[in-house]
Structure 1
């Protein structure tokens, strides 16, 4: 990387309800677009067209503009409890944002950006990235959770924007038998939009359905204890090294068809064994899906991980 540039790691969260996904698009509200607009404001950069390609960004004939690289490009309506991205920024540019603040340039940027971002984006932290860090390619795994309500009498109304309501009840035991068949290295072509030049082969490390109980590990006392917000909801947790487009929501939809008795387990397992996209395995609504966590290796393995994951994999 250019020595005049500093790589920053940005940890954040967002309510995806009113965003057209992560990736910036002309004339549409997106998470990336809002953050890059906020960076433009606090760094006092000239407002203009920020659709300069990554390969041209930083070249002398093009002005520097913020270009975020993200761990996972969430779709329209998908939320993130913890998203990670990185930004390569000229050292001179970030030093200029300190102003009257008695702090480092990175701390000053974090402070100023927190105060201009919209309420549906929460900036957790900005830090100097470790050597070799790449928000996308260095990641070891991503964890998503999909939340469903199959009993309207138990859902907390504060959770409604983040939950899919269905006419249940769901057979969670059978859904977990289905989910067990996707763990491991598979071609998820039945559950993902085709990627020209890429692959739909992914390694799922964990996939499990559970109904959340209000009996938590917190010790009960003689006083009132507030119930868990998710109590009564059915949650699907899935962990994989990476995800293909629409993969999680399509897997959820297929599991729901099994859990509601509309399809049997053999149908589901055949979809895993025969990676052919067809209408009955399309994605379920985005509202219930949230990116919960992105895991990275130790700092001394970041560069090697990024190099390895760029290779196109096969079964």
Structure 2
């Protein structure tokens, strides 16, 4: 029995997220359908985590177990011939039997893209958060420092989530300008539901002057969702990379 690790890219615009759900188009279902056709038997895959409707991925990871004779390096070619244009398998490698895409993940990197302009760009509509307000970029950059380290990020988790342990560590949080966009890069040992999007929305609120820098420590310590900023929309979010033990 081989254990195969897949590296996956997808445009989340027309998906209802990663995870299979009734009467909805999902990334997991499309990949499982293609694998089932290739292997000629039902195949289930384990993803490193869910992404919501509209969220994109540059480096989603999944794994599956199966006996087969096809060279593993040929799997991306075979899968991409069957998959829709908005999904691509970038790599397939054999990994140890005990590897699990979700349970062995040690951290993740997300990217969030903001298009700050008075005039919308239809070519960026599905791939960025369009913000028309004037933003103070230097204050936003300064604000990123308050999130780095280990904190209880309950204030930055979507209401209604059932997660009990809301302590996470953000190793890096960088905001910079590139090609007319504001790019936020977040790297940590894990992220709560909507955490990156709420941090992004909070930074935008700081840039607008709605939230003051001195209030950020109070917001974090409050553990109350209503104290933090708004939830930025899904289309600006990208799962960039999943980290595993080397």
Deviation at 1:108?
A: 4.2
Aligned residues: 245
Distance in 2 of aligned mates of 1:270 and 1:232: 32
Q: Which residue of 2 aligns with 1:286?
A: 234
**SS of residue paired to 1:196:** coil
Cα deviation, residue 88, structure 1? 1.8
Measure the CA separation in 2 of the matches of 1:189 and 1:165: 26
Q: RMSD over aligned Cα, in angstroms?
A: 1.9
- Give the distance between the partners of 2:182 and 2:133, measured in 1 at CA: 11
Higher strand proportion, which one?
2
Unaligned runs of 5+ in 1: 46-64, 99-103, 213-230, 299-315
Alignment-derived partner of residue 62 in structure 2: 85
In 1, Cα distance between equivalents of 2:34 and 2:91? 15
Q: Is the 8 A contact 2:5 2:93 kept in 1?
A: yes
Q: Is 1:244 matched up with 2:192?
A: yes
Cα distance, 1:176–1:197 mapped onto 2, change above 3 Å: closer
1:192–1:246 CA contact under 8 A, matched in 2 = yes
Aligned runs of 1:65-104 on 2, under 5 Å?
A: 65-89=42-66, 91=67, 94-95=68-69, 98=70, 104=71
Which of 17, 32, 37 is 2:33 aligned to? 37
- Look up the match of 1:273: 221
Asked if 1:128 is matched to 2:76, the reply is: no
Aligned residue number for residue 160 of structure 1: 125
2:126 equivalent to 1:178: no
Cα distance in 1 between the residues matched to 2:95 and 2:74: 16
Does the 8 Å contact 2:9/2:59 carry over to 1?
yes
Partner of 1:261: 209
* SS of aligned partner of 2:239: strand
Please give the secondary structure, in 2, of the residue aligned with 1:118: coil
Displacement, 1:255? 1.0
Structure-1 separation of matches of 2:238 and 2:163: 27
Q: Which residue of 2 aligns with 1:9?
A: 5
Q: Which residue of 1 aligns with 2:82?
A: 116
CA distance in 1, matches of 2:228, 2:173: 20
Q: 1:240 Cα shift?
A: 0.6
Shift of 1:33: 1.0
**Cα deviation code 1:267-288 (max 9, x no counterpart):** 3321111111227534211011
Cα offset, 1:191, TM superposition: 0.7
Unaligned ranges ≥5, structure 2 = none
Deviations 1:31-62 (A, max 9, x none): 101111111222223xxxxxxxxxxxxxxxxx
Q: Highest CA radius of gyration, 1 or 2?
A: 1
Asked if the contact 2:198–2:228 (Cα under 8 Å) also holds between the matched residues in 1, the reply is no
3-state SS of 1:25 partner: coil
What is the deviation of 1:69? 1.4
Secondary structure at 2:176 match in 1: strand
Distance 1:21 1:87 in 2: 19
Give the SS at the match of 1:40: helix
